[in-house]
Amino acid sequence: MSNTGRVNYHVHAPYRQSFVIDADGVAGNLISPELAETQITLNDLRIAGSTIYARDGVAFETYPSAITDFSDMQDWRQQYDRELAALLTDRLAAREVIVFDHTLRVDDPDANRKPARNVHSDYSPEGAEKRLVDLLGPQRAADWQDGHYAFINIWRPVENPINSAPLGFVRPASVPHEDWIKIDLIYPDRRGNIMGLVANKHHEWIYQSCMNPNEIVYFNIYDNRGLPSVAHSAIDLVENPGITSVRKSLESRTLVRF
């Protein structure tokens, strides 16, 4: 079954584009590059279809957590990190899993971290290598680079099922190389970069409707052995106009060694 929604694609430009995060020292103040709002058709995997992680770089699962309140990271992080490490160890035969970041996103104008409404993947190859060194140090990073490693995101609804702004993905097989462009991320204290995606009518969008807090989706954002990076974005789509719950989600970033 298909549905329609709207996303913000990046655009080709004759200059290097960037996001400025927490601009002017104000948390949540975001200056965006030019984006192109585009209507898309997307396939609801709740109704029909499936993914294979080794091919698509994305997998949906029912995976309840013992954590029910994600408001104070100090209270839940260690236990939740163990749960995520166990998931990737079991599903992907990971040899080592490092969970290094959690971002609670709330679809509210006053939230510091809102859903990301641009079609992107989180790391360029250069950005992934730099992040690897930042996390592990040069010597240990060099050891990981000699083998197989990946950055994998794990996304979970928080408090309520997702009724608006669901997270959608583009099947990598439908994305030609020239649709990707490098976008800088400028923070108050550092600079990074991501890969933005420009519009293409042949992109195949997928999502799972009404995901609830007992469900997760994990997806590849960089793999040094060539598994495609997965473009993703919050989608402007409301499942049921009669439901007014605020969209909340937890995004967790992991570094995985195979």
Instruction: For residue 154, give the CATH number of its domain.
Output: 2.60.120
Intervals of the chain under pLDDT 50: none
pLDDT of amino acid 21: 86
Long-range contacts of 124-133 (CB under 8 A, 24+ apart): 124/182, 124/193, 124/194, 124/195, 125/222, 126/193, 127/192, 127/193, 127/194, 127/222, 128/221, 128/222, 128/224, 130/192, 131/192, 131/255, 132/255
Amino acid at 122: D
pTM for the full predicted model: 0.94
pLDDT of amino acid 24: 81
Between CA 225 and CA 235, with CA 231 as vertex, the angle to 5 degrees is: 155
pLDDT of amino acid 1: 57
Q: Give the structural domain span for 243.
A: 2-257
- Give 168's strand partners: 233
Structural domain tally of the chain? 1
Give the tens place of pLDDT for each residue, 93-138: 999 999 999 999 999 998 989 999 999 999 999 999 999 999 999 9
Give the tens place of pLDDT for each residue, 132-157: 999 999 999 999 999 999 999 999 99
Q: Which of 250, 177, 255 is nearest to 222 (CA)?
A: 255
pLDDT of amino acid 172: 98
Residues in CB range of 71: below 8 A, 6 or more apart: none
